[in-house]
Amino acid sequence: GWESDEWSAMLERVDAAAARMARRLRPDTGLVVTADHGMIDVPRHRHVLFGDGALTEGLRHVGGEPRMVHLYAESGAADHLAERWRSSESSRSWVLTRDEAIAAGLFGTVDGVVRPRIGDVLVAARQSIAYYDDRVADTSPQKMVGQHGSLTSEERTVPLIRLGAFAR
């Protein structure tokens, strides 16, 4: 996770490499260092395992990220699936149907070809939790502490460092 000593050590290595690169730039050349997303730490005791029970009734497939789960419902079950998740998880996650997420602009303009790829129900964690379907055999993703994918400011804030000509 990003709060670990290992993460800090790697960040220091990246910082040193960027500084070395910036020193070698010509005066009219700039360098931008950024990331693709922010990050939060979700330790194992904050995992929500949902493999059995009412949260999986009518559930056909699970996709997305542990902090932005896409739930694909059996035919005709999407509304009931959304209601069950809202009833159970709305205190710690945003629960949206596909139509609500598209109307809210979460994906920008959505082409009709792409629309079915978005889950029937989206569960976006707003607390420090991550959702895992514990019916799957491979639990190795649960070992990752650093998580991203939801709509929190920590996950949507992206660092940007301007070096060389861009720093002036």
Mean pLDDT of all residues in 30-48? 94
- Evaluate whether 64 touches 119 at the Cβ level (below 8 Å): yes
Q: Is the predicted pLDDT of residue 15 greater than 90, yes or no?
A: yes
Q: Is the predicted pLDDT of residue 38 greater than 80, yes or no?
A: yes
Instruction: Collapse the DSSP code of 164 into the 3-class scheme (helix H, G, I; strand E, B; otherwise coil) and give the result.
Output: strand
Main-chain dihedrals φ then ψ at residue 32, nearest 5 degrees: -120, 130
Q: What residue spans define the domains of the chain?
A: 5-36+157-167, 40-147
Percent share of the chain, pLDDT over 70: 100
**What's the pLDDT tens digit per position in 109-147?**
999 999 999 999 999 999 999 999 999 999 999 999 999
Mean pLDDT, the chain, whole residue set: 95
Mean pLDDT of all residues in 141-164? 93
pLDDT value, residue 2 = 87
Query: Which pLDDT band, with edges at 50, 70 and 90, does 36 fall under?
Result: confident
Which has the higher per-residue pLDDT, 51 or 80?
80
Mean pLDDT of all residues in 155-163? 93
Query: What number does CATH give the domain 40-147?
Result: 3.30.1360.180
pLDDT value, residue 72 = 98
Q: Write 57-65 long-range contacts (CB < 8 A, 24+).
A: 57/81, 57/84, 62/133, 63/119, 64/119, 64/122, 64/149, 65/147, 65/148, 65/149, 65/150
Report the chain's terminal Cα–Cα distance, integer Å: 33
**What's the pLDDT tens digit per position in 79-111?**
999 999 999 999 999 999 999 999 999 999 999
Q: Is the predicted pLDDT of residue 168 greater than 80, yes or no?
A: no
